[in-house]
Amino acid sequence: MVIAITFAGARAITHNSIRRGCDFDKVVRNVKDILNAKRRLGSDVRVIASYVMLSMNVHEIPEFIELCSDLGIEEVVLDNLSYMLNRGMVTWKAFSDPYEARPRRVERIVRMAVDRARELGIKVFNYSLTCWELTECPERPTESLFINVNGEVSPCVFLNLPIRDQDMPRCFMGSCFKVRRLSFGNVADKSLLEIWLDKKYADFRSRFIRRRALGDLVNITEHSLIEYLPPSPCLSCYRLYGV
């Protein structure tokens, strides 16, 4: 079992300005309570702190590592703003698109933070700061799924955002557009196994399974390109590109 807590800053003023309504001091208190309960019960539950790297908070990443050490957190994930709803959010991202220069300043900060974490005995996983197409995205749609509050089953949360409209806003590599929400069924109407085995859902997963079996995308020839393309809604999702 894993308990993941997301931060958007190492200081209250930064975190609170980004994650409005999510009080930094309260989050810290709750983390302390969770870790105290974990120690008291001798639990093996993993407590992970996730830090959303943004243009306005990357300078606080090394400080965040120190905070995690003080709290007793042993695992940290440095994540990206991998889904952007509008052009304003595009300026928040800390990673670079393929047509942009590498974010060398951010890379240096992350290296400093990772080195310090190693000294403190903290495990760190940091997502890439540059785009590179993967055979399957980190959401692992061939092995996992997402069920929203209404019972709709989707391959991941990025294909079924909690919005009222059926079309989701999405910005990707300089363009903003709409993507249709994707659901393969509702657990109120069918069993989860029936939905998982549905032909359309199986066809969706098979695209990633073929890509994974290939092992290396550089082996794709011009003639086999279409056969190894990911599902169309995933082509414009940053998660497929490792960020």
Question: What pLDDT, on a 0 to 100 scale, did the predictor assign at position 227?
Answer: 75
Q: Which pLDDT tens digit goes with each residue over 105-135?
A: 999 999 999 999 999 999 999 999 999 999 9
Q: How far apart are the first and last CA of the chain?
A: 24
Statement: residue 224 has pLDDT above 70: no
What pLDDT band is residue 37 in, cutting at 50, 70 and 90?
Answer: very high
**Are 93 and 84 spatial neighbours (Cβ–Cβ below 8 Å)?**
yes
Statement: residue 153 has pLDDT above 80: yes
Question: What pLDDT, on a 0 to 100 scale, did the predictor assign at position 1?
Answer: 84
**Are 147 and 160 spatial neighbours (Cβ–Cβ below 8 Å)?**
no
What is the average pLDDT score of the chain?
Answer: 94
pLDDT above 90: percentage of residues in the chain: 89
pTM: 0.88
Mean pLDDT of all residues in 41-60: 96
Question: What pLDDT, on a 0 to 100 scale, did the predictor assign at position 137?
Answer: 93
Q: What is the secondary structure of 149-186 as a DSSP string? A: TT-BEESSGGGS-S-SSSEEEEEETTEEEEEE-----B
**Are 201 and 231 spatial neighbours (Cβ–Cβ below 8 Å)?**
no
What pLDDT band is residue 229 in, cutting at 50, 70 and 90?
Answer: confident
What pLDDT band is residue 217 in, cutting at 50, 70 and 90?
Answer: low
